């Protein structure tokens, strides 16, 4: 009598083949997902600190970032702005080691200009600069053009004072930048020990920059001077 195959299980070879196929498909899906994730986070890889990377991802949904997304159409400049917000968050959380580590990583990856852009954002200077641009705005296109020009040529618009700078040398450098580039807004930034140097130089700078109105952002550790060229109507 013949044996019926109805209701019997698959052969061991067929079961093994299905298991291998299923395992391969699951592995492939995971590998593809991991690869996509790596591509998405490739720009963050240089940070090499999971907690800091997590913080960066969190700030991507912040309103400040969404504003930058709209008006900064250069990917690297936009990324550096996000790094600046991350530095600010680390500073607010008093995570000094992570703050210094990220600053060092930004410097190594993007050189001094990249660090300057990130610090410009970190210290709230970009937001006030944007506020001044909006106050003087004639067209939206001109606003965006001026914003990008600042970030692409930041050392033509901002003097980042170092803690060991001599007052006389700092004033001379500020005057040289203004004479060379004639910016409509010129900023002198002093953070930490440099804040006192900027405070001591304020009166002399006003003497030299008589075509500019002065606005200040002051705190114990920060002294930021905004020299705004007087508009003629």
d(CA 231, CA 42): 45
Reduced to 3 states (helix: H, G, I; strand: E, B; else coil), residue 95 is: coil
* Residue 120: C-alpha distances to residues 36, 37, 110, 159 (Å): 32, 30, 14, 11
What's the order of all strands across the beta sheet hosting 158-161?
A: 158-161, 185-191, 222-229, 212-218
CA 64, chain centre distance (Å): 11
Q: What is the mean pLDDT of each run of 10 residues along the chain (233 residues)?
A: 49 61 56 50 75 84 90 94 95 93 94 96 96 94 95 96 92 96 96 94 95 92 95 70
pLDDT of residue 106: 95
pTM of the model: 0.78
Ordered by where they begin, the domains of the chain are 38-154 (no CATH), 157-233 (3.30.110.140)
Task: Using CB atoms within 10 Å of the CB of residue 65, give its burial: 0 to 12 exposed, 13 to 18 middle, 19+ buried.
Answer: middle
Cα distance between residue 122 and residue 170, in whole Å: 22
For 59, residues 6+ apart whose C-beta sits below 8 A from its C-beta are: 65, 82, 85, 86, 89
Would you say the C-alpha torsion 27, 33, 34, 36 has a positive or negative sign?
positive
The enclosing H or E element of 108 equals helix 96-122
User: Which residue in the block uniquely carries the two structure tokens 């970030």?
Assistant: 151
């Amino acid at each position: 009598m013949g044996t019926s195959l109805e209701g019997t299980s698959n052969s061991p070879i067929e079961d093994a083949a299905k298991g291998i196929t299923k395992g391969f498909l699951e592995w492939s899906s995971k590998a593809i997902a991991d690869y996509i994730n790596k591509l998405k986070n490739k720009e963050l890889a240089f940070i090499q600190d999971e907690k800091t990377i997590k913080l960066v991802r969190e700030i991507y949904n912040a309103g400040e970032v969404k504003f930058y997304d709209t008006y900064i159409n250069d990917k690297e400049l936009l990324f550096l702005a996000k790094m600046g917000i991350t530095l600010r968050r680390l500073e607010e959380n008093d995570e000094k080691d992570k703050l210094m580590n990220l600053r060092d990583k930004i410097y190594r990856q993007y050189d001094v200009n990249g660090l300057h852009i990130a610090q410009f954002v970190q210290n709230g200077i970009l937001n006030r600069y944007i506020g001044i641009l909006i106050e003087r705005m004639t067209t939206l296109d001109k606003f965006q053009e001026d914003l990008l020009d600042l970030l692409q040529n930041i050392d033509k618009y901002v003097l980042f004072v170092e803690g060991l700078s001599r007052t006389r040398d700092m004033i001379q450098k500020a005057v040289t930048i203004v004479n060379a580039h004639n910016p409509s807004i010129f900023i002198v930034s002093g953070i930490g020990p440099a804040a006192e140097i900027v405070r001591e130089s304020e009166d002399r700078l006003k003497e030299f920059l008589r075509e500019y109105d002065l606005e200040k952002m002051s705190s114990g550790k920060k002294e930021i001077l905004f020299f705004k060229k007087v508009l003629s109507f």
